[in-house]
Amino acid sequence: MSDSLLHWQPATLPSSRPLAGRFIRLEKLDPAAHADDLWRVLQGPGADEKLWDYLPYGPFEARDEFDTWLARHATSTDPWFYTVLDAVTGKAEGMISLMSIVPAQGRIEIGHVTFGAAMQRTPKGTEAIYLLAREAFDLGNRRLEWKCNAHNTRSLRAAERFGFRFEGTFRQHMVVKGQNRDTAWFSILDSEWLALRQAFERWLAADNFVDGQQVHTLEACR
């Protein structure tokens, strides 16, 4: 395989264009429209108690603290935050971002995955990853990254399920909430995306679900 990139052009930056799927829609984070729903699903009764364990912020005891955090995310361009909205109800059910955005090198990452309990282990979460991965490569990126705490078993399993390839562990990479973080690195390359995209689309198709349950796993679809 040639390493020549004579005709490659730098990637494009993300935009505020909504990304629509069967189950969810991704919109640029807008606290005025999304804060009430996000507070309810991320901090209200029935919220996932483990949600914040490996994130560099949260949980939030006070609404004003949460609103300040949300407003800061909304004005950020890297990370570039999206709200996950249910396609039927229009209610916000989580957040996710594109981050570590380096157009000159064609490199971008999916991160800050903050899904409410009702989204987890449903097609909505998988579709959110699919929509962002598709957007990342449509923008012209060569490499899509996934990084997580090496002890975060949920995130490690998710990366493997979504088709990211493990590249190694950066030891003592960060200090988060007063704790050491060894960081596991994963990636998908543009040359791998077509096959993965087709697998995502096969898995998300209506005929892969009977009474809300998957017929074939995402791994089987690959």
Tell me the per-residue pLDDT of 142-191, one tens digit each, with 9 for 90 and over.
999 999 999 999 999 999 999 999 999 999 999 999 999 999 999 999 99
pLDDT value of position 1 = 46
DSSP 134-160: HHHHHTT-SEEEEEEETT-HHHHHHHH
Helices (H), 17-122: 31-43, 63-75
Look at the chain and count its residues.
222
Ordered by where they begin, the domains of the chain are 19-221 (3.40.630.30)
Query: What's the CA dihedral at 202, 207, 210, 215 to 10 degrees?
Result: -40
pLDDT value of position 15 = 96
pLDDT per residue of the chain (222 residues) written in tens, 0 to 9: 457 788 889 999 999 999 999 999 999 999 999 999 999 999 999 899 899 999 999 999 999 999 999 999 999 999 999 999 999 999 999 999 999 999 999 999 999 999 999 898 899 999 999 999 999 999 999 999 999 999 999 999 999 999 999 999 999 999 999 999 999 999 999 999 999 999 999 999 999 999 989 999 999 999
Does residue 82 sit in helix, strand or coil?
strand
Query: Which letter does DSSP use for residue 48 in this model?
Result: -
- Residue of 44, 23, 18, 21 whose CA lies nearest to 33: 18
Burial code of 186-201, b = ≥16 C-beta within 10 A, e = fewer? bbbeeebbeebbebbe
pLDDT value of position 53 = 95
Is the backbone of residue 33 left (phi > 0), alpha (psi -120 to 50) or beta?
A: alpha
- Residue of 78, 89, 93 whose CA lies nearest to 127: 93
pLDDT value of position 2 = 59
